[in-house]
């Protein structure tokens, strides 16, 4: 570890050198942009560059809600993200937001693959950042995790007098341990903690998703609590519409349970598949069907797993769907299920699917996790963690008590509309930006 400071200085120098050519352009555009970016009689809003690696935009709902909120409030917004199926244009403008995308040449598998992917994404993002800096200019760099590999860009833009914000979406060290479990490498875990620490150190402010994440930003990241803002990823109600239930989603059954989300290894969808088999084989119930909405890297494996254990006739896997079809499915369901098992990652994470279920007045069944209980409160019944038989029993408990289910659904919808939807998060986001501008 004796040469770590030298390596960090090298990263700083490399990233700063890549951007230095555009520094003068950035400054001149920032000055000239005051007249162009200001509304009548109002103060000029700066130009924002948002960087996200995990998902393309506008598919990444949180990043898109942030982008449109900023754009609708006078900010000039540019986003850099990877290409993915359905989002393959290298450059386009959507709703006034300039989107630059880069190609991912490999499908990362294993530690070596992910290192290669991270290096590629960093290089592509750095080049596009320099390009945006010279062509459009930006005043604030807003970097989203995972991963926490972009802190050298934060140092570089701060060296040119710009601002750096960290958008703390997820707990990368904990997520890695949840994915890899017994195969986890202590070295990789330490590296993730190091990159997280450097990102917090470089950031002037942090926006994050819940109280657990804020605690980590303060206690592990050393951030001032006044510089950490909780911007919850509540649903954008303008894209959701409750529709008339459609019986075909129930596959001829009386009841339907729904799962929503990208299916990754750590999401516990196998728990829900096994719960469906238990409902049929142990509790002898044949009146319930499950619909799993979403793609994700682990979705094909889960679909195969359902067939392996003889539960494929109980499950429909839709893959990624449009907002229209998402609304049709959730409007037809009787219960929304979040099967994330308890671990250090899940217990401190907000599961957005729960809030979407709540908007559709669905009673929620989930394992008893800290942030699940904050989000859903009385809209959910909580099963003993990591026990799929208890998950199955809890699903049946809700289905077999329609009066309780209706009360849960009404409570959940009211909580979303009155407290947790994006319209309640947007002012916090804008307040965080004002705080950053004044630092």
Per-residue pLDDT of the chain (439 residues; tens, 9 = 90+): 334 444 344 444 444 444 444 444 333 433 433 333 444 445 678 999 999 999 999 999 999 999 999 999 999 999 999 998 889 999 999 999 999 999 988 766 666 777 888 899 999 999 999 999 999 999 999 999 999 999 999 999 999 999 999 999 999 999 999 988 888 899 999 999 999 999 999 999 999 999 999 999 999 999 999 999 999 999 999 999 999 999 999 999 999 999 999 899 999 999 999 999 999 999 999 999 999 999 999 999 999 999 999 999 999 999 999 999 999 999 999 999 999 999 999 999 999 999 999 999 999 999 999 999 999 999 999 999 999 999 999 999 999 999 999 999 999 999 999 999 999 999 999 999 999 999 9
What was the pLDDT predicted at 420? 98
Compute the distance between CA of residue 243 and CA of residue 328 in angstroms, rounded to an integer. Answer: 6
Q: In this structure, are residues 171 and 216 in contact, taking their beta carbons and an 8 Å threshold? A: yes
The domains found in the chain, sorted by start residue, are 4-30+46-234+423-437 (3.40.50.2000), 238-420 (3.40.50.2000)
**CB under 8 Å to 112, separation ≥6 — which residues?**
none
Compute the distance between CA of residue 371 and CA of residue 354 in angstroms, rounded to an integer. Answer: 10
Determine how many CB atoms are found less than 10 A away from the CB of residue 9: 11
Give the side-chain half-sphere CA count within 13 A for 273.
23
In our burial notation (b when 16+ CB lie closer than 10 A, e otherwise), range 30-63 reads beebeeebeeeeeebbbbbbbbbbbbbbbebbbb
What was the pLDDT predicted at 8? 40
What was the pLDDT predicted at 36? 36
Q: In this structure, are residues 330 and 362 in contact, taking their beta carbons and an 8 Å threshold? A: yes
Which residue, among 202, 174, 170, 171, has the nearest Cα to 189 in the 3D structure?
A: 174
Which residue, among 18, 125, 30, has the nearest Cα to 76 in the 3D structure?
A: 30
């Amino acid at each position: 570890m004796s040469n770590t400071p030298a390596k960090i200085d090298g990263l700083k120098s490399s990233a700063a050198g890549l951007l230095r050519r555009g520094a003068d352009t950035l400054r001149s555009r920032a000055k000239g942009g005051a007249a162009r970016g200001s509304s009548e009689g109002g103060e000029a809003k700066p130009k924002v560059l948002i960087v996200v690696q995990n998902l393309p935009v506008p598919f990444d709902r949180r990043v898109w809600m942030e982008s449109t909120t900023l754009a609708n409030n006078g900010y000039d917004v540019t986003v850099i993200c990877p290409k993915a199926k359905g989002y393959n244009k290298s450059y386009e403008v959507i709703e006034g937001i300039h989107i630059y995308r880069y190609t991912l040449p490999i499908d990362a598998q294993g530690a070596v693959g992910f290192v290669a992917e991270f290096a590629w994404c960093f290089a592509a993002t750095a080049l596009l950042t320099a390009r945006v800096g010279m062509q459009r200019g930006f005043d604030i760099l807003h970097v989203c995790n995972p991963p926490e590999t972009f802190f050298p860009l934060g140092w570089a833009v701060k060296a040119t007098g710009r601002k750096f914000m960290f958008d703390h979406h997820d707990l990368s060290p904990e997520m890695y341990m949840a994915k890899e479990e017994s195969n986890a490498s202590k070295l990789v875990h330490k590296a993730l903690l190091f990159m997280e620490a450097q990102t917090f150190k470089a950031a002037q402010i942090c926006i994050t998703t819940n109280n657990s994440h804020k605690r980590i930003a303060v206690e592990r990241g050393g951030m001032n609590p006044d510089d950490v803002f909780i911007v919850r990823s509540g649903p954008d109600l303008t894209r959701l519409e409750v529709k008339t239930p459609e019986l075909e989603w129930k596959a001829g059954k009386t009841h339907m349970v729904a799962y929503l989300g990208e299916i990754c290894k750590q999401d516990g969808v196998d728990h829900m598949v096994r719960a469906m088999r238990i409902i049929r084989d142990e509790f002898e119930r044949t009146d319930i069907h499950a619909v799993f909405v979403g793609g994700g890297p682990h979705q094909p494996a889960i679909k195969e797993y359902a067939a392996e254990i003889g539960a494929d006739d109980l499950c429909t896997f839709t893959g990624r769907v449009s907002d229209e079809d998402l609304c049709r499915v959730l409007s037809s369901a009787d219960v929304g299920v979040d099967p994330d098992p308890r671990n250090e990652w899940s217990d401190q994470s907000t599961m957005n699917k729960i809030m979407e279920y709540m908007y559709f007045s669905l009673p929620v069944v989930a394992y008893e996790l800290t942030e699940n209980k904050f989000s859903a409160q009385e809209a959910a019944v909580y099963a003993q963690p990591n026990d799929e038989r208890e998950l199955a029993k809890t699903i049946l408990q809700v289905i077999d008590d329609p009066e309780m289910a209706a009360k849960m659904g009404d409570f959940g919808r009211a909580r979303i509309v009155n407290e947790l939807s994006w319209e309640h998060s947007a002012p916090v986001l804008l307040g965080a930006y004002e705080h950053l501008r004044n630092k």
